[in-house]
Structure 1
């Protein structure tokens, strides 16, 4: 049970409940926008130029593998308008429904998975790590990072990504070998954490070193969600990934 659940359980005054709900909604908005900015940054390295609207980020043609063609930014995003701005005829077209508020089944989409947005406060202590972490700096290091992240994937994370000052590809090294990693991207008020493997504590500590004073957000499901919660994150709201069939 989170602190927010406890306040509800003990019937805190209405003003307190309203403030908690508002805080969570603001965090979800920040997390969704941050994630859309990361999807946009990665897509641009593949020549796909997305567009930010009031209700969603959308890409006019298919984004790189594992990345959505749209990310909703508000709970009242209009499904029809979003689908008009993406290529629904392409294989694996997908929509990140940031509030689990859409029903895309009539348009031929099915739910791929459900997840939770997560948030880690700046007041939460950072755990210790014994690994040596730093920012990936070269194309060769990035290729080694990608191979450690998923040995079956190549050329998803391209060298142009290293020139983006708002993005940090982070790696832990044992000698020259990459043994853990993550991606962080900075927005105006939060830092997004994604693609984490091997060592959550080290990734969090490196983010605090790069961008001190900013809370960390992201989204996870299943065992990865359990791992995030064990590192001081809290779940702040549901999201859903829809995949065209």
Structure 2
């Protein structure tokens, strides 16, 4: 397995930003995590798609994490932000691998998106994001969190056609949950980056992607800055 024991500053900033977003979503569900020196961890099982731990430094060890998350039921997951952990002997399997990405401050050009406003719009955003398969993963309490913003694009009928979550920490904006209902990731990234430039000018943009989504991010001007992997303990 490829490892990154000497991560770039951009990868470190992206990992911290992503941990902040995971913590915020968990708080909205009534789950309080712990941001330690080596990792953010949750003592309770986190919501679907979200990890029970996110490492913040390549020096994190299994001992810094496993005693701080719930291993009593199947499904525990760890975001190994620098691809330096080996959790195989602890019953984990690699769920997927990805790359942290970084974009220099984008320009405010092209069509920008709107901010999700109110519970009804958030419900519609989630429905479009999940193609109707998710409800309640993003509680309305998140709309009052000043560090995290839901972005959306609408068609002429007022239907959500694309969106993302923008999380601010330090000098960066982290983009997660980017989607396009029609599958046009290139157009989605163009609109998302134009919105970031308008709302938070001069900030660098970070995130992580894999596969075809990574290819679309690279076409949008992102550069890969380091590997990560997500581990899952199925039993």
1:159 counterpart = 2:130: no
Higher relative contact order (CA 8 A, sep 6+): 2
* Stretches of structure 2 lacking an aligned partner (at least 5 in a row): 181-187
1:119 counterpart = 2:102: yes
**Residues 138-177 of structure 1 correspond to what in structure 2 (within 5 A)?**
138-150=118-130, 151-174=132-155, 175-177=157-159
CA RMSD, aligned part only? 1.5
**1:55 equivalent among 38, 58, 75:** 38
TM-score (norm 1): 0.87
Task: Note if contact 1:126-1:201 (Cα within 8 Å) is conserved in structure 2.
Answer: no
Q: CA deviation at 1:204?
A: 1.1
**Residues 1-245 of structure 1 correspond to what in structure 2 (within 5 A)?**
25-122=8-105, 124-125=106-107, 128-129=110-111, 133-150=113-130, 151-174=132-155, 175-198=157-180, 199-245=188-234
Task: Note if contact 2:38-2:64 (Cα within 8 Å) is conserved in structure 1.
Answer: no
Aligned equivalents of 1:135 and 1:141: distance in 2?
A: 9
Number of positions where the alignment pairs a residue of Structure 1 with one of Structure 2: 221
- Looking at secondary structure, tell me which structure has more helix per residue: 1
* Stretches of structure 1 lacking an aligned partner (at least 5 in a row): 1-20
The aligned residue for residue 11 of structure 1 is none
Please identify runs of 4+ aligned residues in structure 1 that moved more than 6 A: none
TM-score (norm 2): 0.91
